[in-house]
A and B are shown apart, each in its own frame.
Chain A
Amino acid sequence: MKESRISLRWRRPRIETLVFPGVTILLSCAILFPLGFLVYGAFSITPIGTPNEGYTLANLIEVLSNPRYLQAIGHTLITASGSTLLASGIGISMAYLVARTNVPGPRLIRMGVMIPFFSSPFVGALAWSLLAQKDVGLISIVMSFFGLPAINIYSVGGIIWVQGLFYAPYVFIFCTSALYNMDPSLEEAGHMSGLNRRQVMTRITIPLIAPAILSGMLLTFVSTAGQFGVPAVLGTPFNYYVITTYIYDLTMTYPSRFNMASSLSFVLFFIVALGVWVQNRIIQGRSYTTLSGKGFRPKIVDIGGWRWVAVGFALTFILCSSILPLLILGYVSVVSLYTAEYSWAFLTLDNYRDLFFGNDMNLRAIKNTLMLAPSAAMLAVVLAIVINWVTLRTRLRYRRVVDYLVMIPVSVPHVVLAIGMLWTYIYLPLPIYGTLWILLIGYVTGFIPFAVRNVASTFMQIDKSLEEAATMVGANWLRTVREVTLPLLKPGLVGAWMLLFIIYVRELTTSIFLYSPNSEVMAVMIYNRWAEGDYGPLCAMAMAQVFFIGAVIFLVGYIFKVDISRSLAQ
């Protein structure tokens, strides 16, 4: 009798039993529906939206047999590999110098290396296309003054150069994180066992940070293979097509060849998926336990006179990746018309006046960006906390599926994902299409892997027993998260939010496919100014973008007392 009374009593469901499956289902829909359109497009005889007339492999066969597509695939592999190698060379050496040597001004160098991250590779490509203009660009003038051959920025080397410079911070972030968190006692043990400095480096340090380096390199490879802006600015003018520019052209010609574009994006998907698989194979069996986040003070290596060579190297990188591009963008933004002549007489603030007072659309784009980027970053971080809880703290049966699911957007070029999202939300009978919501959802969906990975790295540093203790004394899930997990995660979460905020302010590909009247954002305005041939307003907007990112980083760093360059490297 007593037993039956207990079983009949209604028990309020625990909040996590609703939140975990709820978030999983929502994310599954947000990620898989757009991909569904892609798969359908790749195998359907008829374009999306027209009556289905059956399925075919012809598109995929065409993509894999037509020399033009194969060439684009080859170009993608060349530029992505080249950029990854350059970015890794710069990123790894900078990370080592900053984290483990007595190079002067490591904090300044760390900030300097991060600056390219504040502006998009697309804007970087535009800046470099101005700097290295044939005969008239600043670099060309300096090169010819010293009797050196001119640089042709519209070349494979040019694409690799710009992508390498602008993705170096990615590798740098991953490597500094690993180097800061590495237990120095392992290296000390090496020294005590009679190994010299080089042997310690090759046998202990490098193997220990290899997984982090590989993750950084993989992220760079994936991102550069999916890059659209740089090859569009620097490759198309000499008829050099990579997969993304080809996909864009296939969808943006009339009549559009979306089915072919979908098939081609499948190839990119496989290239990237292969990269992820290779990384997993290499990392398999290696332990991350040295990344304990206990705040070790790593041993600093004295590099003697090489310190100044290192400073020179760092300054050259900062000059090429930040100072020169910002100088040229800044100059073009304060002249009425850029004619490759440099004079104080040309200076004017007209472009800025037009940006802030002359055009409603510009102001709206700034407002939308400053609203969307923080909101989307916040939402992505919240989702990342829930997802990481599911995958790292529970034994739910679907946790492995969630783990794979949230990584899918890494493998899909954003050009393709954006087209899939456009079709998804046009068909979805909710007031999302044509509003800012579609951009918010697009941003969160496209970059959820970044949020999850970034939050995961801090999650792994918290001892599970603290949360378990809270649960044991009766706290429910929400209270445990609020009172134990979040305070411990705070620096990492601020870093993750910041990373996403920066990405969203710069984000171009998703925005350009999903924006509508009244939902313009800054990156779209920059792209449109480029398409319209208006360097002045373009550069003013790009400078404003860099300014806003810098200001928010400073402000948030001040309010939350977080060293951003360090917390990004979590």
Chain B
Amino acid sequence: MKASKEKGSISSPTSRRSFLKSGVALGLSSICGKAATDESRRVTLYTSMPSKYSNPAVKVFNDLNTGVHVDVFYSTTYQVLQRVIAELTADRLIADIMLIADPGPYLDLKARGELLDYVTPHIDMYPPGQRDVDGLWVNGRTIATIFAFNHRVLSANDAPRSWEEFADADWANMLGAMDVRQGGTAYSWYYSTRNHPELGVRWWKKLAKTNLVLTRGHGALMDRMVSGELPITEQLDYYVWEKVRNKNAPVAAVYPAEVIPISLAPISILRRGPNNEGAKIFYDWWLSKHGQETIAGINGIYSPRSDVTPLPGKPPFDSLNTMDIDLTDFSRSREALQKEFTQIFGL
């Protein structure tokens, strides 16, 4: 009786051995099992678009049953880029499509002949400033940089209304922003305001005196603003819009009159990617009206397509005081401006 009880017990030697064996077998078979997936259908998107938006957007595409299944690799802008560069260098590209919020690297990749020479049939729906002259990349998301405040801590009357007021000494120790060196949108903010005739380097020096908290991403800033710890922060407009719509966050967006820095998040197919044909199907969908409406709805961004209905609760894109950016200068100035930024903030 005792023996049979022992045998049946999970802590008996036989059970322990089979427990171990099955565990090892399960682990190894699962690890090896990855290779068995149908590679011809798979397309891989490398993106810095937060996964809480990119995943649902890609799921909409995958559910269309086009015969192509898209996998997503999400990371920060430059980590995605470093990964793509490493894979290209070793001639072992996993990424088929790259979508990051910085047009600079696309200029470099195009110059190196790494972008697929493919023009989407939707190209005419994108104005010239929103695409490569040869159509090798197209802006897949338009991101506006604004600032926002916690309206439980500050009333709308008291809150700053312009970039000039944002940098006022009154807000010392209450402000946060993303580190300009850490991402494309943050660099675009620096580039646009630093080259603005009324703001310029003077404004940045004024801002540096407020003891501005610099973070690696807008997410951490948003969390600290929502909890009231940092009541006013530089933000991306879609973050604020989405947090208010989906979570009823106690924050309000301010679209400063001086300038709204705009970041392009280009999408393009990598020439040496494993599945160019599959990639074209996803690329075309992303840039189609259905794709852009889906992405705008999920992500809360402005679509670069003129025929996509603007989202309720956001000012029309045309009403924003944006600045035309010379992408070549934007890219070339980067290192000098990053250095200038580190000097201003003593980093």
A interface residues (Cβ-Cβ under 8 A, vs B): 48-50, 68, 130, 133-137, 154, 232, 236-239, 241, 249, 251-256, 336-340, 359-361, 367, 371-372, 374-375, 378, 422-423, 426-427, 431, 433-437, 440, 512, 515-519, 528-535, 537, 558-561
Contact = CB atoms under 8 A, between A and B. Distances in A.
A291 B210 CA distance: 58
B51 A532 contact: yes
Nearest to B11: A559
A533 B222 contact: yes
B94 A517 contact: yes
A35 B185 CA distance: 34
Given A340-B228, A434-B94, A517-B72, 6 more contacts: A422-B86, A427-B92, A437-B31, A529-B219, A531-B50, A533-B222
Nearest to B249: A337
B85 interface: yes
Contacts of A48: 89
29 contacts: A49-B89, A49-B90, A136-B227, A237-B176, A239-B347, A249-B181, A252-B82, A254-B78, A336-B247, A337-B247, A340-B227, A367-B30, A374-B23, A374-B27, A378-B23, A427-B90, A427-B92, A434-B92, A436-B34, A516-B94, A517-B72, A518-B71, A528-B74, A530-B220, A532-B52, A533-B217, A533-B222, A559-B10, A561-B11
Given A337-B248, A517-B72, A426 B228 contact: no
Contacts, number: 174
Contact of A340 (B90, B218, B219, B229): B229
A371 B26 contact: yes
B175 to A, nearest CB: 12
B94 A530 contact: no
Given A517-B94, A528-B51, A423 B227 contact: no
Contacts of A427: 90, 92
B104 interface: yes
A531 B75 CA distance: 9
Interface in B5-51: 10-11, 15-16, 19, 23-24, 26-28, 30-31, 34-35, 44, 50-51
Contacts of A371: 26-27, 30-31
A372 B31 CA distance: 8
Secondary structure class of chain B's binding surface, majority of residues: helix
Nearest to B187: A254
B346 interface: yes
Contacts of A378: 23-24, 27
The 10 closest A-B pairs by CB, nearest first: A533-B219, A49-B89, A375-B27, A517-B71, A533-B222, A426-B90, A340-B227, A337-B247, A532-B50, A517-B73
Interface string B306-347: 000000000000000000000000000011001000000111
A509 B10 CA distance: 36
Contact of A254 (B16, B35, B334): B334
A25 B222 CA distance: 49
Nearest to B250: A339
A537 B247 CA distance: 13
Interface of B: 10-11, 15-16, 19, 23-24, 26-28, 30-31, 34-35, 44, 50-52, 55, 59, 71-79, 81-83, 85-87, 89-90, 92, 94, 102, 104-105, 152, 176, 179, 181-182, 213-224, 226-229, 239, 243, 247-250, 334-335, 338, 345-347
B86 A237 contact: no
Contacts of B345: 239
A252 B243 CA distance: 27
Nearest to A50: B89
A130 B227 CA distance: 9
Contacts of A537: 52
A517 B44 contact: yes
Nearest to B176: A237
A284 to B, nearest CB: 40
A532 B217 contact: yes
B92 A426 contact: yes
Contact of B213 (A238, A372, A433, A561): A238
Contacts of A423: 86, 90
Contacts of A339: 152, 226-228, 249-250
Nearest to B26: A371
Contact of B223 (A338, A512, A561): A338
A371 B239 CA distance: 34
